Amino acid sequence: MKRNFSSFLIGLPLVLGLSSAVVAQDVDPCKTDMGHPGNGTTVNYNQTGSISGTPWGYEIWFDGGNNSMTYYSNGTFKASWSGSNDFLARVGYRYGDNGPGIDHNDYQFTVDYSYKKQSQSAGYGYIGVYGWTVNPQVEYYIVDDWYSQPNEQYIGEKFGEITVDGAKYTIHAFLRQEEPSKTGTSTFLQIFSVRQTPRQCGHIDISAHFKKWDEVFTGQTAQLRGSKGGGSATLKFGKVTEVMLMNEAGGNASGSVDYTYFNMSDNGKPSEIVPPKDIPRQPYKGVKAKIPGTIEAENFDEGNEGVTYAGATGSSGSDGLDYRGEDYFIDIVGCGDGACLGYTAANEWLEYTVDVLESGEYDIEAYVSNGSGSGTVELALDGKALVSLPFTGTADDWNTYESATGKASLTAGEHVLRVTIATANTNLDYVKFTLPGYTPPAEDPSAIAATLRLNAVGKTYQVFDMQGRTLGQVDVVKGSSISEALFSKFQKTGLYIVKQGSFIQKVKVSR
C-alpha cells in the first residue's frame, strides 16, 4: 500500500511536550458530538499541512479516483473517496518525516474519537491510529475498525496480545521488502495491533500499545513473510515521527467517513490494563455433543482463550458477538442457514466435550471452504492425534463448501475432541461422525412425558435448536405443556432442546 512520503515538516507539533488537551478528557466520545465549526477547509489533492490554532496536522494522500478531505479547527474531519486504489486521510501529531523522532516513553499519547462511515466498499482498509518510527524504520497501525477483515496474509503472524481500554488486541508483524517508505524504496517492518471487536467510537491508550510492542519485540529477531518472499527482521519499535488518527481504504474503494469527535493528547490519562474474565469450562450451553452426530464448529466448549480455543485472529464483528458474546475473540460468519467459523489462522484450534455413544470405526466429514487453495483439518482425541482430513480448496470462493473426509476408531464414553484448522483462511461449518450400521437407542415416550409433566409447570426454560443455538426462552404456565408453550412462542414444529437448571430435554413439537 502506497503512502505519502513528503519530507514536509509541520511547525507546531515540533514543540515537544506541548499540552494538547483541546477539549476536556473524561468526556464520553460515544455520547458527545463536537460537530464541525465553520465551513472547514477542503482539499482534494495530495497534501500535508497544519491545523491553525491546534498542535495537530492533517494529511490526505491517494492513488487514483475522486477524493477529498475537509478538516476543521477542532480537529474533526470528514472525507470521501471513489474508485481509489488507496486513500488515506489523517489528523494528529507530526514530528518530521525523516527527523530524529521522539522517545514515546516521555509522552502519554491518547485519542478519543467518534465517526460514521457510509456506503463503503473496499478490498482492504483500516481505521484507527497510524504512524512511523525511525531507527529502526517501522510503519505501525492500531486498528479499531476496518473495511475488510484483517488477516495474517496482510498483517503478518501473531506475536502477542494486549488487553487495554477494556478490549483485547492481537499484535502482528510483517516485513515489507523494497517497498515505498518514508525514505524512498526500502525494507521496513510493519506492526499492527488489531482490536478483536470493531467499534466506531471510544478511547485509545496509544502509549499502552507502544509499551507492549517494546515488551514483545525488543531484542527479538524473527523470520517474517514479506511482499517479496521470506526474510528476517529485528523486532524493535523505534523513535516516533508521527501519531495520527487515520482512515485508509483501498482496492477500488468508494465510501465516506465523518469524524464528529476528535481529541488527541500527548499527556493523556493512561488506561487500566484489565485482565481477561475467567470463564469456567463446560460444554457449549451445558450440552455435550453426541457421537454419532454432527458437531457444529461454532459450538466449541465455553472457557477462556488458550483453554477451549486458541490462535483465532479475532471476531468478525456482529456475527461473532451475537453468537458467542463479547468474551470470545473468535470469527463467526454466516453460511447457508446457520453459522460457521471464518477468517481462520493457520493452526487455530477449538475443543469440544463429546459423548461417544458406541465404540467403532467412524466415517468422519469436515465441511469446509477455502478459496486460497488446498489444506487439512486435523482432529485429536484426549490429546492424541486421531485423523487428518484433506481438502482441495474452492477456487477463490468461500461460499461454496466441500467435504474433507477420513476414518478413525473411537471408544465409547466422554472425550475431548480438538479440531485444528491447519490451513489459514479455512471456513469450517461442521464435523460429522457416522458409524455404519448404528441404530440409535429408542426413547421411552412415557418416561419423557412424565419427566416433562413433573418439571414443566411454573418454570422458565432456555430453548435451543438441535445444533445448540440459542432461540430464546419460554414460560410454562399451569394447564399447559412444554411442547404447547414452544409452539405458542415459536410457531414452528420440529425438535427443540429445553434447559432449566440441570434439567435438559429434547422436545418434539407437532400439530
pLDDT bucket at 168, cuts 50 / 70 / 90:
confident
Label residue 112 exposed, middle or buried (CB < 10 Å: 0-12, 13-18, 19+). buried
Tens-digit pLDDT profile for residues 66-104: 999 999 999 999 999 999 999 999 999 998 767 789 999
Name which of 329, 312, 260, 511 is nearest 425 in CA terms.
Answer: 312
Cα(236)–Cα(242) distance, integer angstroms: 17
Q: Report angle CA 309, 315, 319 to the nearest 5 degrees.
A: 110
Strand partners, 137: none
- Decide if pLDDT at 176 tops 90: no
> Domain boundaries in the chain?
12-265, 284-434, 445-509
Residue type, 320: G
Count of positions (residues) in the chain: 511
Q: Report angle CA 181, 182, 185 to the nearest 5 degrees.
A: 40
Q: CB-hemisphere CA count at 13 Å for 83?
A: 3
- The angle that helices 445-456 and 482-490 make with each other, rounded to 10 degrees, is 80
Q: What pLDDT does 311 receive? A: 80
Per-state percent for the chain, helix, strand, coil, to nearest 5: 10, 50, 40
Tens-digit pLDDT profile for residues 349-370: 999 999 999 999 999 999 999 9
Q: Would you state the cell numbers that stand for residue 28, as one nine-digit string?
A: 464520553
Residue type, 367: Y
- Decide if pLDDT at 133 tops 80: yes
The residue among 43 and 394 whose pLDDT is bigger is 43
Cα(430)–Cα(299) distance, integer angstroms: 9
Cα(234)–Cα(221) distance, integer angstroms: 4
Q: What pLDDT does 502 receive? A: 59
Average confidence (pLDDT) over 336-343:
81
Residue pointed to by grid coordinates 499519547? 109
Average confidence (pLDDT) over 264-268:
93
Q: What pLDDT does 20 receive? A: 34
- 140 and 190 in contact (C-beta within 8 Å)? yes
pLDDT bucket at 439, cuts 50 / 70 / 90:
confident
SS (H, E, C) 215-280: HHHCCEEEEEEECCEEEEEEECCCEECEEEEEEEEEEEEEEEEEEEEEEEECECCCCCCCCCCCCC
User: In whole angstroms, how far apart are CA 92 and each of 100, 115, 285?
Assistant: 18, 16, 46
Q: What pLDDT does 433 receive? A: 97
Q: What pLDDT does 402 receive? A: 95
Q: What pLDDT does 119 receive? A: 64
Name which of 122, 58, 129 is nearest 90 in CA terms.
Answer: 58
User: In whole angstroms, how far apart are CA 504 and each of 324, 413, 507?
Assistant: 20, 19, 10
Concatenated DSSP letters of 483-497? HHHHHHHH---EEEE
CATH superfamily, domain at 12-265: Glycoside hydrolase family 11/12, catalytic domain (2.60.120.180)
Cα(227)–Cα(14) distance, integer angstroms: 33
Q: What are the φ/ψ torsions at residue 185 (nearest 5 degrees)?
A: -80, 125
Q: Which CATH class is domain 284-434?
A: mainly beta
Give percent of the chain above pLDDT 70.
84
Active site residue 402: no
pLDDT bucket at 106, cuts 50 / 70 / 90:
very high
The residue among 119 and 236 whose pLDDT is bigger is 236
Largest CA distance in the chain: 84
pLDDT bucket at 271, cuts 50 / 70 / 90:
confident
Cα(349)–Cα(380) distance, integer angstroms: 10
pLDDT bucket at 48, cuts 50 / 70 / 90:
very high
Q: What pLDDT does 508 receive? A: 80
Q: What pLDDT does 112 receive? A: 95
User: In whole angstroms, how far apart are CA 4 and each of 164, 244, 283, 413?
Assistant: 30, 14, 51, 62
- Decide if pLDDT at 222 tops 80: no
- Which long-range contacts does 465-472 make (Cβ < 8 Å, 24+ apart)? 465/496, 465/497, 466/495, 466/496, 466/497, 466/506, 467/294, 467/296, 467/299, 467/338, 468/284, 468/285, 468/287, 468/289, 468/296, 468/299, 468/497, 469/296, 469/299, 469/323, 469/338, 469/339, 470/285, 471/496
Strand partners, 364: 406, 433
Exactly one of 139, 296, 305, 348 is catalytic; name it. Answer: 139
Q: Would you state the cell numbers that stand for residue 388, as one nine-digit string?
A: 487428518
Average confidence (pLDDT) over 330-348:
83
Q: Would you state the cell numbers that stand for residue 19, as one nine-digit string?
A: 499540552
Strand partners, 61: 88
Domain 445-509: CATH architecture, name and number where available: Sandwich (2.60)
pLDDT bucket at 434, cuts 50 / 70 / 90:
very high
Residue pointed to by grid coordinates 416433562? 452
Average pLDDT of the residues of the chain: 84
Cα(49)–Cα(215) distance, integer angstroms: 34
- 89 and 253 in contact (C-beta within 8 Å)? no
Name which of 104, 117, 109 is nearest 245 in CA terms.
Answer: 109
- Decide if pLDDT at 3 tops 80: no
pLDDT bucket at 13, cuts 50 / 70 / 90:
very low
- Decide if pLDDT at 337 tops 80: no
The residue among 22 and 391 whose pLDDT is bigger is 391
Task: Answer whether 12-265 and 445-509 agree in fold.
Answer: no
Helix (H) or strand (E) holding 208: helix 206-217
pLDDT bucket at 463, cuts 50 / 70 / 90:
confident
Exactly one of 152, 179, 242, 248 is catalytic; name it. Answer: 248
Q: Would you state the cell numbers that stand for residue 297, as one nine-digit string?
A: 464448529
Any residues with CB less than 8 A from the CB of 437 and at least 6 apart, and which? none
Give percent of the chain above pLDDT 90.
47
Name which of 199, 35, 69, 43 is nearest 128 in CA terms.
Answer: 199
Q: What pLDDT does 110 receive? A: 96
SS (H, E, C) 180-206: EECCEEEEEEEEEEEECCCCCEEEEEH
pLDDT bucket at 478, cuts 50 / 70 / 90:
low
Average confidence (pLDDT) over 220-235:
71
Q: What pLDDT does 365 receive? A: 97
Q: What pLDDT does 427 receive? A: 94
Cα(170)–Cα(132) distance, integer angstroms: 19
Cα(120)–Cα(61) distance, integer angstroms: 18
